[in-house]
Amino acid sequence: MSAVWAASRAGVRRRRVQSASIAVVVALSTATLVFGLGLLAASRSLFDDAFAQARGAHATASFDAARVSADRLAATARAPGVTAAAGPFRTAVLPRDKGPMGPGGDGLLVVGRDDPGGPVDRLTLTQGRWVRGPGEVVLRVKPGGPFRLGGKLTPPGLPELTIVGFADSVTDGFMGWVTTAQVAAFRPDGLQMLYRFDRAKGASEVRQSLTAATAGLPMRGYDSYVTAERSFEKRFNQLIPFVTVFGVLAMAVSVFIVANVVSGAVVSGFRHIGVMKALGFTPAQVTAVYVVMVAVPALLGCAVGLLAGHLLALRIAASVAAGFELPSAGGAAPVLDLAGGAGVLALVVLAAVLPALRAGRLPAVQAISAGTVSRRGRGRRLQRWLLRTRLPVPAGLGLGLPAARPARTALTLAGLCLGVTAVTMGFGLQQTVMKITTADTEGHTSVVAGVAPRASGGMTDDKLEALLRAQPGTAHIMSFAPANVRIPGVPSSLSAEAYSGDYRPFLGDSLVRGRWFSGPGEVVPSEAFMRLHDLDVGDTLTLQTAGEPVKVRIVGAFAHPDTDRLMLDTASLPAAATKDQPSPFSVILTKGTDPSDYVRRLTAAAPPGGLFAEPVRPDLGEGAVFGGLFLLFSLIICAAAGLGVLNSVLLSARERGRDLGVLKAVGTTPRQVVAMMVTSMAALGIVGGALGAPLGVLVHHGVVVLTGDMLGSGMASSWIHVYSWTVLVPPACAGLAAAVLGAWPPALRAAATRTAAVLRSE
pLDDT digits (tens, 9 = 90+) for 552-590: 899 999 888 777 888 898 888 887 666 655 577 888 888
Q: Are 224 and 400 in contact (CB under 8 A)?
A: no
pLDDT above 60 for 625: yes
Quote the DSSP letter at residue 486: B
Are 474 and 566 in a shared domain?
Answer: yes
For residue 647, give the 3-state DSSP assignment.
Answer: helix
User: What's the pLDDT score for residue 101?
Assistant: 37
Most confident range (mean pLDDT) of 248-257, 385-394, 426-435, 550-559 is 550-559
Give the integer Cα–Cα distance in Å for 572 and 522: 7
Residues 572, 574, 580: CA angle, nearest 5 degrees: 115
> Residue range 263-290: average pLDDT?
70
Quote the DSSP letter at residue 44: H
Tell whether omega for the bond before 88 is within 30 degrees of 0, i.e. cis: yes
User: What's the pLDDT score for residue 659?
Assistant: 67
Quote the DSSP letter at residue 456: S
Give the integer Cα–Cα distance in Å for 294 and 298: 6
Selected residue with higher pLDDT from 287 and 620: 287
Say what percent of the chain tops pLDDT 90: 1
- On whether residue 132 sits in a domain, the answer given is yes
User: What's the pLDDT score for residue 554?
Assistant: 92
Residue 454 falls in which region: left (phi positive, over 0), alpha (psi -120 to 50) or beta: left
Quote the DSSP letter at residue 19: H
pLDDT above 80 for 277: no
Give the integer Cα–Cα distance in Å for 749 and 654: 10
Are 584 and 628 in a shared domain?
Answer: no
Q: What number of other Cβ atoms are within 10 A of residue 204's Cβ?
A: 10
User: What's the pLDDT score for residue 268?
Assistant: 57
- On whether residue 105 sits in a domain, the answer given is yes
User: What's the pLDDT score for residue 199?
Assistant: 85
Which segments within 65-189 are labelled E, that is strand?
A: 82-94, 108-112, 124-128, 136-139, 152-153, 161-168, 176-178
Are 598 and 635 in a shared domain?
Answer: no
Are 466 and 599 in a shared domain?
Answer: yes
Q: Are 716 and 722 in contact (CB under 8 A)?
A: no
Name the residue among 342, 345, 296 with its Cα closest to residue 5: 296
Are 601 and 493 in a shared domain?
Answer: yes
Strand partners, 483: 496
Are 537 and 402 in a shared domain?
Answer: no
pLDDT above 50 for 102: no
Query: Domain boundary at 155, 183, 199, which?
Result: 199
pLDDT above 80 for 372: no
- Please report which confidence band the pLDDT of residue 371 belongs to, taking 50, 70 and 90 as the band edges: very low
Most confident range (mean pLDDT) of 69-78, 320-329, 389-398 is 69-78
Q: How many residues does the chain have?
A: 762
Are 532 and 671 in a shared domain?
Answer: no
DSSP helix, strand, coil percent of the chain (3-state; round to 5) = 55, 15, 30
Give the integer Cα–Cα distance in Å for 508 and 76: 49
Selected residue with higher pLDDT from 626 and 110: 110
Give the integer Cα–Cα distance in Å for 182 and 159: 9
Give the integer Cα–Cα distance in Å for 295 and 71: 69
Give the integer Cα–Cα distance in Å for 314 and 37: 11
> Residue range 671-700: average pLDDT?
85
Q: Are 225 and 196 in contact (CB under 8 A)?
A: no
Are 485 and 538 in a shared domain?
Answer: yes
Q: What is the 3-state secondary structure (H, E, C) of 494-552?
A: EEEEEEEECCHHHHCCCEEEECCCCCCCEEEEEHHHHHHCCCCCCCEEEEEECCEEEEE
Q: What number of other Cβ atoms are within 10 A of residue 201's Cβ?
A: 10
- On whether residue 641 sits in a domain, the answer given is yes
Sequence-ordered list of residues with C-beta below 8 angstroms from that of 576, at least 6 positions apart, any chain: 546, 547, 548
For residue 460, give the 3-state DSSP assignment.
Answer: coil
- On whether residue 429 sits in a domain, the answer given is yes
Give the integer Cα–Cα distance in Å for 158 and 137: 14
Are 515 and 633 in a shared domain?
Answer: no
pLDDT above 70 for 515: yes
Give the integer Cα–Cα distance in Å for 652 and 192: 75
Tell whether omega for the bond before 146 is within 30 degrees of 0, i.e. cis: no
Query: Domain boundary at 558, 592, 615, which?
Result: 615
Give the integer Cα–Cα distance in Å for 165 and 137: 7
- On whether residue 390 sits in a domain, the answer given is yes
Give the integer Cα–Cα distance in Å for 648 and 652: 6
Give the integer Cα–Cα distance in Å for 157 and 39: 49
Name the residue among 339, 332, 309, 318 with its Cα closest to residue 246: 309
The domain of 688 spans 374-438+619-762
- On whether residue 281 sits in a domain, the answer given is no
Query: Domain boundary at 199, 227, 257, which?
Result: 199
- Please measure the distance between the N-terminal and C-terminal CA atoms of the chain and give it in whole angstroms: 36
Q: Taking each helix axis from N to C terminus, what angle separates 393-404 and 380-387, rounded to the nearest 10 degrees?
A: 160
User: What's the pLDDT score for residue 553?
Assistant: 92
Are 165 and 96 in a shared domain?
Answer: yes
User: What's the pLDDT score for residue 555?
Assistant: 92
- On whether residue 277 sits in a domain, the answer given is no
User: What's the pLDDT score for residue 437?
Assistant: 74
Quote the DSSP letter at residue 373: S
| Burial class, 74, CB count within 10 angstroms (exposed 0-12 / middle 13-18 / buried 19+) | middle
Q: Are 80 and 217 in contact (CB under 8 A)?
A: no
pLDDT above 80 for 294: no
pLDDT digits (tens, 9 = 90+) for 149-191: 877 777 777 888 888 888 877 776 677 888 888 888 888 888 8
Q: Are 704 and 719 in contact (CB under 8 A)?
A: yes
Q: Taking each helix axis from N to C terminus, what angle separates 203-214 and 225-237, rounded to the nearest 10 degrees?
A: 170
Are 631 and 731 in a shared domain?
Answer: yes
Are 749 and 630 in a shared domain?
Answer: yes
- Our count of domains for the chain comes to 3
User: What's the pLDDT score for residue 213?
Assistant: 86
- On whether residue 291 sits in a domain, the answer given is no
> Residue range 621-633: average pLDDT?
64
Give the integer Cα–Cα distance in Å for 498 and 577: 10
Mean pLDDT of all residues in the chain?
A: 77
